[in-house]
Every structure is written in structure tokens, then in C-alpha cells.
Amino acid sequence: MATTDIRTGYRGAQRAVGVFLPFLVAAGLAALGDRITTATSVLVLVLVVVGVGAAGDRVASVLAAVSSGLWFDFFLTEPTGQFAINDPDDVEVVVLLVAVGVAVTEIALWGLRQQARAARRAGFLDGVLESADLAAGGDVAPDQAHARVADRIAEVLEVDRCRFEPGPVPPTAAAAALHRDGSVHRDGVAVDVTREGMPTDVETYLAAPAGDGHFRITASTRVARPTREQRRVAVLLADQVARGGCGSDEERPPALTPAG
């Protein structure tokens, strides 16, 4: 809740800046009088719009663009001191300011989405490498390794929780299954996870290779819509259970001893 409040407050501050900053800049430009040209004033206001739009808040950027156009009209076009434009060229400038604001915001949002995807992929890779290290090393107890892999799966799939259980998947007709290709089926019917999300009324089972056990995925309190890439990463994480270090102590081959 606190994070949501901070984010809402931050957006509110951005939008307030988008409304009032163009007013202050336009008033300052008007105070300079003939010492600054109209073209320069337009470029300065464009910089204001670009600066607000670069933050990636679509509403704040549009507010900044509209505010810039209005105060450009009020302070810098004839007749000054009125919201009236007699020159068609000034009308074009106002429209251009709004268009620039919208365009810059969309470009900024696209960049932020690409950055988020890159960060998510890096997180996926870190999780797989950590699980592989757990499987390869013998300094972590099997139960701890299983729990950490399960936590990683829950994190990747953005679900409530995930836990590992030994043995094969129980023959529960009502349960759903996550397959190696990233698809999810329930009662033999494919689930459109992108649109419907992971099943929330039943658990989803993810089998580990070679019958070493299975993971029980629970998404009961919120709808999770992991991408196919996320689901395949979850399968790759589950594969680490069969990589030697995550198996039970009884399943490990006996250590070789040198001949006497």
C-alpha cells in the first residue's frame, strides 16, 4: 500500500509540473520581450514538453503539451494577454507542441518497456544460474535447494507461492499442468494464460524431470499472467532438481574411494 501511495504521489507531482512549468517558462519568455525571438520561445517550450514527456507519464506529457500551447498563445502571440490566435502559423505551433508531447511520451514509454523486459530477462538468467549452482554444489541441503528453486519459480511466474513435493504428480483430474513448451492445460484443454491468467481455483503442477518430484504452483489471491517466456524459464528452473545436487542424499551415487 505504501509503495502504491508513493507512486501515486510521484505521478501527481509529475502532472503538477506538467501544468505549471510551461506557465512559468512562457511568462519568463514573455518578460524578455523582443530580446528573444518567437522561434526560440517555441524551442524552449518544446524542451519543456520533452523533459516532462521523458519521464514516461502519458497524462503528464499531454498536460505539459496542452499547457505549453495555451501559455504560448496567452503570452507570446498577438494579441498578448488573451487566449486568442489570429495568425495561422501560431495555430500550427500550438498543434506542433501537443504533437511533440504525445510523440515523446510514446517513445519514452517504449524505452521504459524495453528496459523492463531486459531487466526481467536478466533476473530470469540470474535465477537459472543460481539454481544451477545449487544443483552442482553439495553444500546446500536438498530441502533447502528445493525450496529456493520453488521460490524462484514463484517469482518468475509472479504467483502467490510454489512448493516442491517428492514423487510423481498425483492423478488429480481438477488440477492444471504446466508443460515443457510453456503451455498450461486443464482437463486436457489449453488455458490461454495471457488472457485468462494462471488457474486460481486449482493448483498447477510442474513435473521435474526423471520423476524426481513435482512443483505445486498456487495463484489463489491474484491473477498472474506470465508470458510464455516466463513459463519456459520456470520449466528450466524445475529441470535443475534433476541435476544431481537437488536430489535426495539416497539418490546420489556413492563416492569413489581410492584402492588400498
SS3 category, 76: helix
pLDDT digits (tens, 9 = 90+) for 194-218: 899 999 989 999 988 755 788 999 9
Answer for the pair 38, 26: CB distance below 8 angstroms, yes or no.
no
pLDDT digits (tens, 9 = 90+) for 57-112: 778 888 888 888 888 888 887 777 877 767 777 778 778 877 877 787 788 778 77
Q: Which three cell numbers stand for residue 191?
A: 488455458
pLDDT digits (tens, 9 = 90+) for 12-51: 888 899 899 999 999 999 998 888 888 888 889 888 888 8
Answer for the pair 246, 135: CB distance below 8 angstroms, yes or no.
yes
Alpha carbon distance 257, 33 (integer Å):
92
Answer for the pair 19, 64: CB distance below 8 angstroms, yes or no.
yes
Alpha carbon distance 104, 61 (integer Å):
8
Paired strand residues for 162:
217
pTM for the predicted model, two decimal places: 0.53
Write down the H helix ranges in 158-204: 193-196
Q: How many CA atoms lie within 13 A of 211 on its CB side?
A: 4
